[in-house]
């Protein structure tokens, strides 16, 4: 039987076929607007891409997502942006198996990877995009990875071989770190919404790889992560014993830990096996929303040579109910322990932020005492401090009604220039009188005791806004007489400080609001946003271009 398609007489039209008619440009059913982008020289497009994709920008991730959407609308742009789009990789937006195979098959693209954002699946979360292993590594690709492990001199190759075969999310991260030698920043999170007291029994292979590289003296492995400067771990199951060797990575400058739970000190027999005093080149250490005992924090600080920025946000609200139920002693925020560890960095520390978000009732239940931070006068490099007043008081608990005055003038670093103060939410006259008295004492002697002080910003710890009455205005006037600006949250001109670390590991301290005179600070951000819009305009088609569901 003939397989020729049956056609009715009405289907047989005179003249050239539809294909020929389109070729001749006659009787075209629709017209399309030619993209202006096709007429631009490639050098100009690449220059725009360089401006848009300055990857240390805080909005770089959003820019890459937008550019990816745009690149799918134009073949020329896709060809030019392909290597750029590998600069930042995120396994939430792309299948990790597909990404890994592309990196293995095209080594030049793997070398373009600078920043890795990864969501771990240690709980077996069902969010995997390809449960059928559509992009499973072939035997040849797995063999190439094993050869790379052997060439780098990594021990225990069998453990890696198992991971290459299973290809779980964390296994793909390990493989990606192996094939991408120029990574500068790694951010790994998990699906936990809070800290995990149990933690990993064994550290994940990707973390073991980083630790092996930090402790290795073999040239191949020790230099593999020579550009890695920033690591951010937002993982409850990670134990501090698991990160010791990683601190020794020669290029590592910034470490951010979030949602970590660790009571008591780090096990010395495990910590000392990988960490030596002053062995780490870290300059920036963030510990945020974590429930870590001060003994453990001090152990990390002792491992660092010269710290420049330290931020600790001690938070035990998540664990309050669990600790009451099981009767476990919670991690302790002990200021004398922290002060002793911080004083070892008196010749380098420039910014200090301490926030105690712990629950006072839980401390009272266990009878824990916070102690006093003591004097920071010897920290002559310290220019900026962000903390409450109670660390400077002789407290038994943060809400101790019998606490002594803070004596800020005697305890603050002599060369301090800016200070953020968080005051308690306790709604009683005694606490209101205490913080006002502490500020009045500082206003009287700040000119002689802290001569470089220029600005103090005050906010309540939770509700932020502070009611400014006549008594507070008088305190502001006393500071003004000493050349110091005192601002309260809720007042005009109050600008909260945002402390963060850039992707490249350089710390900075920025104001959220910018005066007209300082408008040039945001020029780069505006340029990149305008460049994205310009690129979209150049891609304009008859039907419009859509980016993230919005027409541009």
Q: pLDDT 10s per residue in the chain (552 long)?
A: 444 443 444 444 444 444 444 445 444 444 455 567 777 787 887 777 777 665 554 555 666 677 777 777 778 877 877 777 888 888 887 888 888 998 999 899 899 999 999 988 655 444 444 555 667 888 899 899 999 999 998 888 888 888 888 888 888 999 999 999 999 999 999 876 555 556 677 888 999 999 999 998 888 888 899 999 999 999 877 889 999 999 999 999 999 999 888 888 999 999 999 999 999 999 999 999 888 999 999 999 999 999 999 999 987 655 544 444 444 667 888 899 999 999 999 999 999 999 987 766 666 665 567 888 999 999 999 999 999 888 888 755 555 556 677 789 999 999 999 999 998 766 667 878 889 999 999 999 999 999 999 999 999 877 778 888 899 999 999 999 999 999 998 777 677 665 544 333 333 344 433 232 333 334 444 444 444 454 444 444 333 333 333 333
Domain limits of the chain? Answer: 184-371, 374-504
Cα–Cα distances in angstroms (integers) from residue 197 to residues 147, 192, 340, in the given order: 37, 11, 27
**Phi and psi dihedrals of 418, rounded to 5?**
-135, 145
Q: By the 8 A CB rule, do 152 and 221 touch?
A: yes
Contacts of 146 (CB under 8 A, 6+ apart): 157, 160, 161, 164
Q: At what angle do helices 60-71 and 42-52 cross, to 10 degrees?
A: 150
Distance between CA atoms of residues 417 and 455, nearest Å? 7
SS3 of 449, please? helix
List the Cα angle 460/366/406 in 5-degree steps.
Answer: 40
Alpha helices in 195-292 (DSSP H): 205-215, 219-222, 268-274
Nearest to 175, CA basis, from 185, 188, 189, 161: 161
Residues 6 or more apart whose Cβ sits within 8 Å of residue 530: none
Largest CA distance in the chain: 105
Virtual CA dihedral for 267, 269, 271, 273, nearest 10 degrees? -170
Overall CATH class of domain 374-504: alpha beta
Angle at 189 between CA 362 and CA 352, to 5 degrees: 60
Could you tell me the pTM of the whole model? 0.78
Whether residue 165 contacts residue 142, with contact meaning beta carbons closer than 8 Å, is answered with yes
Element (H, E) at 290: strand 284-292
CATH number 3.40.50 given to 184-371: no
What SS3 state is found at 94?
coil
Q: What is the DSSP letter of 190?
A: -
In sequence order, the 6+-apart residues with CB closer than 8 A to the CB of 551 are 544, 545
Angle between helical axes of 169-179 and 139-152 (0-180°, round to 10): 60
Fold equal for 184-371 and 374-504: no
Strands 261-262 and 507-511 turn out to be unpaired
- If you compute the radius of gyration of the chain from its CA atoms, what whole number of angstroms results? 29
Alpha-carbon distance of 392 to 403, in angstroms, equals 10
């Amino acid at each position: 039987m003939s397989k020729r398609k049956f056609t009715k007489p009405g289907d047989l039209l005179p003249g050239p076929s539809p294909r020929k008619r389109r070729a001749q440009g006659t009787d075209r059913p629709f017209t399309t607007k030619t993209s202006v982008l096709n007429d631009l020289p490639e050098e100009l497009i690449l220059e725009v891409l360089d401006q848009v994709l300055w990857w240390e920008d805080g909005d770089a991730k959003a820019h890459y997502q937008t550019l990816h959407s745009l690149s799918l609308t134009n073949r020329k742009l896709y060809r030019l942006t392909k290597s750029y789009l590998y600069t930042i990789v995120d396994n939430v937006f792309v299948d990790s198996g597909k990404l890994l195979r592309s990196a293995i098959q095209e080594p030049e693209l793997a070398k373009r990877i600078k920043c890795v954002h990864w969501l771990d699946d240690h709980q077996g979360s069902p969010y995997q995009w390809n449960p059928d292993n559509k992009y499973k590594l072939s035997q040849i690709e797995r063999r190439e990875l094993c050869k790379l492990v052997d060439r780098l001199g990594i021990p225990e190759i069998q453990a890696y071989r198992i991971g290459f075969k299973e290809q779980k999310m964390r296994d793909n991260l390990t493989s990606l770190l192996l094939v991408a030698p120029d990574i500068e920043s790694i951010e790994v999170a998990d699906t936990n919404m809070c800290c995990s007291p149990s933690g990993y029994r064994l550290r994940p292979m990707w973390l073991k790889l980083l630790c092996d590289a930090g402790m290795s003296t073999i040239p191949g492995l020790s230099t593999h992560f020579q550009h890695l400067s920033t690591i951010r771990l937002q993982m409850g199951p990670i134990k501090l014993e698991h990160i010791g060797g990683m601190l020794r990575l020669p290029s590592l400058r910034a470490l951010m830990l979030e949602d970590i739970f660790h009571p008591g000190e780090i096990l010395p027999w495990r910590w000392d096996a990988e960490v030596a005093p002053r062995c780490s080149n870290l300059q920036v250490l963030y510990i945020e929303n974590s429930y870590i005992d001060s003994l453990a924090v001090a152990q990390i600080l002792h491992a660092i040579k010269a710290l420049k920025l330290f931020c600790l946000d001690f938070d035990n609200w998540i664990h309050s109910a669990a600790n009451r139920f099981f009767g476990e002693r919670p991690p302790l925020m002990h200021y004398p322990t922290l002060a002793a560890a911080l004083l070892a960095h008196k010749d380098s520390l420039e910014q200090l932020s301490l926030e105690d978000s712990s629950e006072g009732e839980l401390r009272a239940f266990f009878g824990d005492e916070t102690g006093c931070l003591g004097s920071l006068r010897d920290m002559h490099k310290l220019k900026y401090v962000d903390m409450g007043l109670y660390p400077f008081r002789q407290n038994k608990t943060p809400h101790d009604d019998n606490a002594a005055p803070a004596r800020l003038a005697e305890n603050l670093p002599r060369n301090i220039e800016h200070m953020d103060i968080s005051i308690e939410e306790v709604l009683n006259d005694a606490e209101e009188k205490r913080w006002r008295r502490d500020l009045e004492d500082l206003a009287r002697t700040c000119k002689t005791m802290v001569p470089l002080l220029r600005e103090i910003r005050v906010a309540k710890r939770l509700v932020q806004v502070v009611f400014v009455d006549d008594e507070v205005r008088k305190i502001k006037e006393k500071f003004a007489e000493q050349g110091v600006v005192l601002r309260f949250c809720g007042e005009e001109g109050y600008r909260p400080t945002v402390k963060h670390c850039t992707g490249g590991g350089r710390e900075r301290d920025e104001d959220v609001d910018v005066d007209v005179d300082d408008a040039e600070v945001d020029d780069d951000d505006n340029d990149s946003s305008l460049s994205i819009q310009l690129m979209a305009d150049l891609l304009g088609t008859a039907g419009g271009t859509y980016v993230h569901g919005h027409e541009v």
